[in-house]
Amino acid sequence: MAHHAGAEIYTDYPPPLTPEQEGYLVQTVKDWVVEHALTVRPSTAIVPEETNPVTVLATSAPVTLFPSPFPQACFEQARSLQQIYNELYASIASDEQWLEDIMKELIEVDDFLANLWKIHLSVKEEGYVQDLSLGMFRSDYMLHTAEDAPVSLRQVEFNTISSSFGGLACKVAEMHTHLATFPSAKHPLAYPPHPLFANSTDKSPINTIGHPPPNEAVSTLVAGLAAAHTAYGPSRSDPPLPTCILFLVQDTERNVFDQLALSTHLYNHHHIPSFRLPTSKILAYTSIPSKDTNPARPLIYTPPSSPSTPYEVTVVYFRALYAPTEYNTPTSWAARHHLERSAAIKCPSILLHLSGSKKIQQVLTSRPPDADHMKAFLPNHPETALENLRSTFAPQYSLSASQYSASSEPEGIRLALDETTAANHVLKPQREGGGNNIYRTKIPPFLNSIPRDQWKQYILMELIHPPAVAKNTVLRSDGQVVSGNVISELGIFGTCLWKNTPGSTVPEILHNTEGGYLLRTKGKDSDEGGVAAGFSSLDSLILFAEA
Amino acid sequence: MAHHAGAEIYTDYPPPLTPEQEGYLVQTVKDWVVEHALTVRPSTAIVPEETNPVTVLATSAPVTLFPSPFPQACFEQARSLQQIYNELYASIASDEQWLEDIMKELIEVDDFLANLWKIHLSVKEEGYVQDLSLGMFRSDYMLHTAEDAPVSLRQVEFNTISSSFGGLACKVAEMHTHLATFPSAKHPLAYPPHPLFANSTDKSPINTIGHPPPNEAVSTLVAGLAAAHTAYGPSRSDPPLPTCILFLVQDTERNVFDQLALSTHLYNHHHIPSFRLPTSKILAYTSIPSKDTNPARPLIYTPPSSPSTPYEVTVVYFRALYAPTEYNTPTSWAARHHLERSAAIKCPSILLHLSGSKKIQQVLTSRPPDADHMKAFLPNHPETALENLRSTFAPQYSLSASQYSASSEPEGIRLALDETTAANHVLKPQREGGGNNIYRTKIPPFLNSIPRDQWKQYILMELIHPPAVAKNTVLRSDGQVVSGNVISELGIFGTCLWKNTPGSTVPEILHNTEGGYLLRTKGKDSDEGGVAAGFSSLDSLILFAEA
């Protein structure tokens, strides 16, 4: 059966190393990562603040020493879905009424969502002055194995804000390719012979390329930013100002070099300048002319180092303000409101940000005889395409009464409270950022410990069962090298630029592309992901065709 | 007068910064250096060993925040001399008898030179099997100011081994260019207006380019390695082996990324694989077949991670073994001998290594009526070209009786022992690596404290008087930003490949190129240089034409 071929590959992968081989591989990786800026700023756990008071040190991003094997058919399926997913989320973000119907009971109990919604309503009342929206998306999947079924893709989440690691993911693929092909693909120094590499001693190697597929994440994501920048058109200021893109970043960002890979490419290949703006400085360094001065509301960025040369912002690219914890100053919400009402194209807008809620993901799984939202949002796609999307949905359930998922409500609560069925599920809050999920048998006592009217904040999702025997070795940011059983999560990048027309819920799509991937790999005994948190590592993949 | 124009430039340079400007500039540099691997491994003074036990951290190389102003005429003169200097040192290294005559009294008292010479004699007796030599040179200069004379170049030294910082120097020039031109040369965010930049508010700016000249050090140096690799020809092993270049490196090298810039370029642009070999592993991982097996003595490198795929070494590029302190194990000298007798092209050979001695530099300053060595070594160059070289020589003196500088001997000793004249001189030992020079009035007591028969190990050189008012700001590897008066040293890179014919002292020159520069800038109160030691910073230059 199909998934058995996969299991065999995982069993003898990665190839074992002699001490000399491991020494060479680790040293080569340690040098390569710095030479190519596959790096992060070290956490204070690695370098205490008193040792690194002025933040000039860098360390390796956590990386796997080998690319992880991945079924080619699943990779290609994930890629083939991306542009339809892009369109789906553009459509969702364009249907304010539908979104409101879904979100309203969450808004009642979740301050974060409520504040976002309030900003939307306020800007709507004033009148939006920008009808373009940009999505830079990443759809995340895991491999799922089940008895008597081929290995399949299951979507973990669809990211509509701050989809990160495109920059570093490209470099990991490049590094693994270097390791598999230097000085020649037939005799790479870093990797011993294996059927997945071109140095295979088998007559019929599994993989004929022998290295990861090229990763186009940076050029894809940057092309999306450039398309939005161009679509913005000329300056709306009087006199006209030079234009720029703003990268909105966290004040204490450690994942700087992932972001710089995009801004540098944007400047070198598209000649578009971009500036980094920490969230704490939004109100200090950006402004919008008063209504009387300029009703077009251009967003003006005044570089603190050069106040005499202001810029007009075409696109605000959010690499921050996705999590409730980031709105921790008296002016955080005012700053978000300020950006939303400006003429800059937001990546994402408030409505697109909200569209990435897990609640939306759960609602989309409903199908006839319940509401068929997929069909409604993608009327021009054949049913087979929609079924292809649906095939990646893990069963998931609301824990509330909802007009859109009435029939599943009792089932979700029943599954969550029964210890036997709960053992095959995860409870997910709306909240972003990892660390908040409740797993398996901890679900019933957890739900019983909180008021029942809070339950609707959670989604119950069936656990995904990845191949059990995958292994890899990781270089951590603290320099330690650890090996063990791993689970991988595949992300596919895509971008979408669309225009909304007043009175219509159908977006006019101007740019819709797929390109680039992220593989994040974590130790199997860890339930949570999040590369930045140090639990998981950046990886690339080596494809195999199943027997 | 000409040098006054220079002085005015130095006085108001770099332009003063507001706190916001300094904040932006420093943060941009801190991010740029890591993004582009303008980095070194941190010393234990910056990150204690217990914090960084596995050497995965990197930090900024010490860099200046601004390029330093440099007179265009002096820069062009230095460039114009390089190919003649390359030829001069190729000729010196090809004249064994002349070298022996110069070195013999040093060999008597200096174990390091004696051991190098012994290796040469031993290999000579066995018979050299490689008639090609490669030089990767860097000629170092300082600006010299004197009363009533234009500012001029004075050569500090000519490096014939381990000429480093070509890789990082290119990146500094690129960084300063970015800072001066992003997002536009008319309105760079990082640099306030100044007549040296293209953002000048003056009607007639001093520099019309507004940024450092392009730095071709990496492509020039790598082209030299590639020329030697090609000239080596096919494998001399039976059966033939794949060929490679070896980078011979120190076991505890921190300047890794400077070297990787070369090896990566060599592979990406010339498709030549190279491997890093720490000096402690020379005898473990390289071998030469016995005379009976293969009298051609190919140098075989066996990668420890892949013992079944040996390589034949075409070029051994020394980034190590230049200093006596590196020969600190029982087998260090055997390893050097082993490499010298192999068929690999050495960069440098023992004779070329010795040609870089400060004693040679001093002897070359002799001129008619004393011996005219320059003319003898460069018979095909017009006297004006030789005078151009000589114009860069600081007055320097032997402290020994020598057949080649008989007339200066008494003068050197007289100048060194008299406190008044000593105050304008520096006493230099043969030793490489900085930190061993004796300055000014410390010279007489120092000489009087050592036996007189040791004096001949030293050269007395007149001090160079750089422009007094140059200033710059430095980002150190520990993240501190310091400003002050500075002194800069200009290095010009060049490579030369030549062939020696038995019985002839005239090298057949196959490849002779100039390209790329290094500017090293240090605080004015420090007498010693050496970027690796943390005292001086990597810099680039912005040219100005003198009035």
The per-residue pLDDT for range A497-535, each reduced to its tens digit, is 999 998 899 999 999 999 999 999 998 765 554 443 446
Could you list the residues of A known to form a binding site for substrate, using ranges.
138, 161-164, 253-255, 259, 319-322, 520, 531-532
Q: Output the pLDDT for position B54.
A: 66
| Cβ pair A53:B479 closer than 8 A | yes
Closest approach of B42 to chain A, Cα-based (Å) = 8
pLDDT of A348 > 50? The answer is: yes
pLDDT at position B527 is 55
Residue A5: the pLDDT is 45
The whole-angstrom separation of Cα A343 and Cα A298 is 5
Per DSSP bridges, beta strands A471-475 and A63-64 are antiparallel
Closest partner residue to A51 (CB to CB) among B47, B190, B303 is B47
Q: Does B58 contact A34 at a Cβ distance shorter than 8 Å?
A: yes
Q: How confident is the model at residue A1 (pLDDT cuts 50, 70, 90)?
A: very low
For all residues of chain B together, what is the average pLDDT?
91
Confidence of residue B189 (pLDDT cuts 50, 70, 90): very high
More confident site: B430 or A56 = A56
- Confidence at residue B379, expressed as pLDDT on a 0 to 100 scale: 95
Which residues of B fall within a CB distance of 8 Å from A35?
A: 37, 257, 260-261, 264
SS3 string of B429-480? ECCCCCCCCEEHHHHHHHHHHCCHHHHHHEEEEECCCCCCCCEEEEECCCCC
Asked if CATH classification 3.90.870.10 holds for the domain at A396-461, the reply, yes or no, is no
Identify the top-confidence range among A145-159, A276-290, A431-445. A276-290
Determine which of A115-124, A343-352, B460-469 has the lowest per-residue pLDDT on average.
B460-469
Is residue A283's pLDDT more than 50? yes
What does pTM read for this prediction?
A: 0.94
Percentage of chain B surpassing pLDDT 90? Answer: 78
Helices (H), A163-313: 166-181, 217-232, 256-270, 282-285
Instruction: Summarize pLDDT for A466-478 with one digit per residue, the tens.
Output: 987 789 999 999 9
pLDDT confidence bin for B429, thresholds 50/70/90:
confident
Question: Confidence band (pLDDT; 50, 70, 90) for A366?
Answer: confident
Name the least confident of A68-82, A250-264, B55-69, B408-422. Answer: B408-422
Contact A34 B30 (CB under 8 A): no
**pLDDT attached to residue B3:** 38
Q: Which of A46, A55, A260 sits opposite B479 (nearest CB)?
A: A55
User: Are B256 and A31 a contacting pair at CB < 8 A?
Assistant: yes
Length in residues, chain B: 547
CA B502 – CA B497 distance, rounded (Å): 17
Residue stretches of the annotated binding site of A: 138, 157, 159, 161-164, 253-255, 259, 319-322, 358, 428-437, 439, 461-464, 489, 520, 522, 528, 531-532
Question: Does B320 belong to an annotated binding site?
Answer: yes
* B475 or B204, higher pLDDT: B475
**pLDDT beyond 80 at A320:** yes
Mean pLDDT of A169-198: 95
In this prediction, residue B108 carries a pLDDT of 87
pLDDT at A404 over 50: no
> Where do the domains of chain A lie?
4-391+474-546, 396-461
Are residues A306 and B189, on separate chains, in Cβ contact within 8 Å? Answer: yes
Confidence of residue A285 (pLDDT cuts 50, 70, 90): very high
- Hey, how many other C-beta atoms are within 10 angstroms of the C-beta on A482? 12
pLDDT for res A547: 57
Label the pairing between strands A536-539 and A508-523: antiparallel
Determine the pLDDT at residue A532: 38
pLDDT band at A368 (very low <50, low <70, confident <90, very high): confident
pLDDT band for position A12 (cuts 50, 70, 90): confident
Give mean pLDDT, residues A8-34.
92
**Bridge-partner residues for B364, per DSSP?**
none
pLDDT (mean) for B132-150: 94
Annotation-wise, does B336 bind a ligand? no
Q: What is the 3-state secondary structure (H, E, C) of A144-203?
A: EEECCEEEEEEEEEEECCCCCCHHHHHHHHHHHHHHHHCCCCCCCCCCCCCCCCCCCCCC
pLDDT of B532 over the 50 cut: no
Residues A445 and A417: beta-carbon distance below 8 Å: no
The answer to whether the CB atoms of A56 and B52 lie below 8 A apart is no
Q: Give A86's pLDDT tier (boundaries 50, 70, 90).
A: very high
Q: Give contacts of B18 with chain A, Cβ < 8 Å.
A: 305
Q: Tell me whether residues B37 and A42 touch, CB distance under 8 A.
A: no
Question: Does the annotation flag B23 for ligand binding?
Answer: no
The verdict on a CB contact (< 8 Å) between A189 and B242 is no
Q: Is B322 annotated as a binding residue?
A: yes
User: Residue B432, annotated ligand binder?
Assistant: yes
- For chains A and B, CB pairs below 8 A equal 143
